[in-house]
Structure 1
Amino acid sequence: MDKRFSNLFGLTEEEAIALLETPQEQVGEEDSRYIAAAHLVNFPTERAIDALIKTVKSTDTTLDNRIVRRKAIESLGRLRAVRALPAIRACLGENDVYTVENAVWAIGEIGTEDADILEEIACLLEKPGQLHRAIVHVLAKLNYNPALNRIRQFVDADDEPTASAAISAVCRFTGDFSTIGGVVAFLQHPNVNARRLSIQDLIDAGYYAAIPDIARCPVSVVFRLRGIRFLAEAGILQADLTFHDVQPALDLAIRDRPDELTLVHEYDFPPSVEFAIGELYQTDFGRCYLAGKTLLEAHADVAGEALLATYTNGASNDYGAHYHVIKLLGWLRYTPGYELALASLHNPMPQFRKSRAAAAIALGEFGDRRAIPELKRCLDTNIWDLKYAVLMSLDRLGETQACIAAIDDEDWLVREKARAITRSQPRLD
């Protein structure tokens, strides 16, 4: 389980349990039972699981408690708490569509081969008003083939994420991938959720031919790298791919230049610097990348100063904008941003993790060899994409000898990248 965010709420296990079990009307203004339910995912203990199950079984029908129950169900799913299955299954018959959706998702995370439970989930496909994507996804994930014909009805659903999941599931169940292009097409959908979720559906289908398309999809690099990695491993396991096949797409994704992506938005008229800077704060990274491309191509003479100003005014605390600011300073080779990139390379805050790889790429673009020792220090981390970005920048700075240290790295993608860079260099044993 990823522990990067485990201390963000500042609660001990005992405090979280006590808060979760406090009646809603007695909860103080500064406290939140929802946060307690979320935080208990960091404690895979019997006590935490008992408290979450008790919350799921609560009969309080107020909106506040329904929201807390949904989060408790989610936490039990993340904990893969098998003994919580009966309590979670009981939620499948509820009227609250979001509670049902969370219950289905949690069962998918925990896993089951119980045909009765799987059929109960499949029957939800016929329930009017229910959210169907999670149902389709879980039925495919748990290989419940008897649901195939019921899933087929959603391949043309108006809701794009549901249609994407249905196409993926049908391809997976039948072995016929003639329609998988419909999922690949969603990588270029204007709706950011459709783009993000189509990557998951391509992972589920094991369709590694989509790796280059995923690399160019304008969503956060976190989603793209996850998809590329999963599918690369699937393709290599089948002996259909080698690292040489995957490397161009992986390099493109980690480099993450906006002009190398296939953008899905466009402007009606050329925007001002101020407008483009503001777009870097959008939650739809497709808009962020369009703004970045505009800053590089139309405002390169003034963008650097504007980026440093927005960093001071807001991006330093906004992890999405922070990422784009750091990358763009590197692409612009705006030397006043060098120290900021260097500081970002070692930022310990978990929410700024992807900015560390962005900083590594930016330092390679600045071309200042003083960064080499700082880059080499990052080869000792356990963050694979940071190490990969470091190798790319060391190579760009002409420091290929330093990459030899990563030839025996614990991560296979980092090892292969180091070998690709140093193939013509002597091995230092």
Structure 2
Amino acid sequence: MDKRFFNLFNLTEDQAIALLDTPQDQISEDDSRYIAASHLINFNTEQSINALIRAVQQTDAAMENRIVRRKSVETLGRLQAAQALPVIHGCLGDADCYTVENAVWAIGEIGTQDPAILEDIAQLLDKPGQTYRVIIHTLAKLDYQPALDRIRRFTDSADLPTSSAAITTVCRFTHDDSQMDRVVAMLQHTNVLARRLSIQDLIDARYYDAIPDIAHCPVSLVFRLRGIRLLAEVGIASNAIAFATIHPYLEQTLRDHPKDLSLVHSYDQPPDLPFLIQELYETDFGRCYLATQTILDHYADSAPAALFASYAAEATNDYGAHFHVMKLFGWLKHAPAYDLLVEALHNKQPQFQKSRAAAAIALAEIADPRAIPELKTCLDTKIWDLKYAALLALEQFGDTSGYEKVTHEDDWLIQEKANSKLKS
């Protein structure tokens, strides 16, 4: 589990427990039991788990307490606290549907083969107002086959993420993938959440044929890389696919040029540049990629100055826009952005991690040879996508020496890339 973002609160374990144990009506304006419940993810100890269990057992109906209970259940799931299963099981009958949703998810994270718990989860499929996708996903994860017919009813749900999960689970339980093209089609849905969730379903189904479609899906490359990587990991290990099959799509995704995506949004006519710059701040990356491609097609000359201005005003603090700005400087081959890209390459703040690989690719596009030693420093990183991007960037400069330094301690995808390069 990646915990880089978890430890953001200046609390000790004892302070967080004390805060969580404080009655809600005694909490000061400057304190938050919700933050305490979140922070205890950092402490997988008996005392923290017991504190979270006590929080779940506080059934005050006030909204603030309901939110704390939901978060406590979630944290217990993240901690995979098996001793909390009886209490979390009891939450399946809660009147608050979000507490039920978190309880189902947490049970899936902790894992159980208790038929009573699994059947109680399955029976929620007959209860109105539930988050059926989470229920179906958990039943699939825990391989509860007695729920198959109940899950099958949801394959034609009007809620596409729910139908996607149901189709995927039927495929997993029956080994019949005849309906999986419907899940693949959701990669081109206009709703960004539907696109992201369909990638997860394709991973769950081990549907290797979808790897090219995932590579073309207009969502953040984080989701695409995760999908391709997880499918590749299982597929290569089982000899279902080979690295040579997936590596073009992996590298296309790492390079992340909008021309390689199947964009789901469009403009009737090219908007003005200020509008396009603002689109880089959208949470739907499909809109960001459309704006990026439109900038490249229509505003290549005037865009750099506008990007620098936007970076200074906003993108320094917005990690999504920061990523797109770094990429654009590379695709625009804008040499004056060199120092900014080197700064991004070495930025170790967790929220800006994907900008580091973006900066590596952009530096190769700018083609300033001063970047070569900067990129070589990234060959010591344990962040696989940054190291892979640095190797690709160095190769673009004509330097393939980095591949000879890859060892068995490196990420397996890095090893596969190095082996394929050294053999060629």
TM-score (normalised: structure 2): 0.98
Residue 96 of structure 1 and its aligned partner are, at CA, apart by: 1.0
Q: How does 1:258-297 map to 2 (within 5 A)?
A: 258-297=258-297
Residue 410 of structure 1 and its aligned partner are, at CA, apart by: 1.9
Superposed CA offset, 1:328-387 (max 9, x none): 111111111111110011111001111111111111111111111111111111100111
Residue 3 of structure 1 and its aligned partner are, at CA, apart by: 2.5
The question of 1:6 aligning with 2:6 is answered yes
User: Which residue of the partner structure matches residue 427 of structure 1?
Assistant: none
User: Which residue of the partner structure matches residue 392 of structure 2?
Assistant: 392
The question of 1:204 aligning with 2:192 is answered no
What is the one-letter code of the residue matched to 2:130?
Q
User: Which residue of the partner structure matches residue 157 of structure 2?
Assistant: 157
Contact kept? 1:407, 1:418, Cα under 8 Å: no
**In structure 2, how many angstroms separate the alpha carbons of the residues matched to 1:138 and 1:335?**
50
**In structure 1, how many angstroms separate the alpha carbons of the residues matched to 2:45 and 2:379?**
34
Contact kept? 2:125, 2:132, Cα under 8 Å: yes
Residue 422 of structure 1 and its aligned partner are, at CA, apart by: 3.4
**In structure 2, how many angstroms separate the alpha carbons of the residues matched to 1:244 and 1:50?**
49
**In structure 1, how many angstroms separate the alpha carbons of the residues matched to 2:16 and 2:335?**
47
Residue 407 of structure 1 and its aligned partner are, at CA, apart by: 5.0
Superposed CA offset, 1:254-277 (max 9, x none): 000011111111112211110000
The question of 1:37 aligning with 2:60 is answered no
**In structure 1, how many angstroms separate the alpha carbons of the residues matched to 2:399 and 2:100?**
54
User: Which residue of the partner structure matches residue 305 of structure 2?
Assistant: 305
**In structure 1, how many angstroms separate the alpha carbons of the residues matched to 2:177 and 2:242?**
22
**In structure 2, how many angstroms separate the alpha carbons of the residues matched to 1:22 and 1:305?**
53
Residue 112 of structure 1 and its aligned partner are, at CA, apart by: 0.4
Residue 6 of structure 1 and its aligned partner are, at CA, apart by: 3.3
What is the one-letter code of the residue matched to 1:25?
D
Q: How does 1:243-392 map to 2 (within 5 A)?
A: 243-392=243-392
User: Which residue of the partner structure matches residue 104 of structure 1?
Assistant: 104
**In structure 2, how many angstroms separate the alpha carbons of the residues matched to 1:284 and 1:64?**
30
Give the 3-state SS of the residue equivalent to 1:182 in structure 2: helix
Give the 3-state SS of the residue equivalent to 2:176 in structure 1: coil
**In structure 2, how many angstroms separate the alpha carbons of the residues matched to 1:361 and 1:16?**
42
Give the 3-state SS of the residue equivalent to 2:370 in structure 1: helix
**In structure 2, how many angstroms separate the alpha carbons of the residues matched to 1:278 and 1:336?**
22
Residue 408 of structure 1 and its aligned partner are, at CA, apart by: 4.0
Give the 3-state SS of the residue equivalent to 1:48 in structure 2: helix
User: Which residue of the partner structure matches residue 76 of structure 1?
Assistant: 76
What is the one-letter code of the residue matched to 1:69?
R
Q: Which moved more, 1:154-163 or 1:1-10?
A: 1-10
Superposed CA offset, 1:383-408 (max 9, x none): 00111101110100111123321254
**In structure 2, how many angstroms separate the alpha carbons of the residues matched to 1:347 and 1:387?**
14
**In structure 1, how many angstroms separate the alpha carbons of the residues matched to 2:142 and 2:215?**
28
User: Which residue of the partner structure matches residue 401 of structure 2?
Assistant: 401
Residue 22 of structure 1 and its aligned partner are, at CA, apart by: 1.6
Contact kept? 2:59, 2:66, Cα under 8 Å: no
**In structure 1, how many angstroms separate the alpha carbons of the residues matched to 2:376 and 2:322?**
23
What is the one-letter code of the residue matched to 1:378?
C
Residue 418 of structure 1 and its aligned partner are, at CA, apart by: 2.2
Superposed CA offset, 1:93-147 (max 9, x none): 0111111000000000000001110000000000011110100000011000010
Superposed CA offset, 1:4-23 (max 9, x none): 12331222211211211122
**In structure 2, how many angstroms separate the alpha carbons of the residues matched to 1:9 and 1:310?**
30
What is the one-letter code of the residue matched to 1:343?
E
TM-score (normalised: structure 1): 0.97
Name stretches of at least 5 consecutive residues in structure 1 with no aligned partner. 425-429
CA separation of 1:370 and 1:408: change in aligned 2, threshold 3 A: farther
What is the one-letter code of the residue matched to 1:111?
G
Residue 87 of structure 1 and its aligned partner are, at CA, apart by: 0.6
**In structure 2, how many angstroms separate the alpha carbons of the residues matched to 1:408 and 1:371?**
27
What is the one-letter code of the residue matched to 1:176?
D
The question of 1:66 aligning with 2:62 is answered no
**In structure 2, how many angstroms separate the alpha carbons of the residues matched to 1:305 and 1:69?**
49
**Same amino acid, percent of matched pairs:** 62
User: Which residue of the partner structure matches residue 90 of structure 1?
Assistant: 90
Name stretches of at least 5 consecutive residues in structure 2 with no aligned partner. none
Q: How does 1:219-234 map to 2 (within 5 A)?
A: 219-234=219-234
Q: Which moved more, 1:81-90 or 1:412-421?
A: 412-421
User: Which residue of the partner structure matches residue 135 of structure 2?
Assistant: 135
Q: How does 1:182-193 map to 2 (within 5 A)?
A: 182-193=182-193
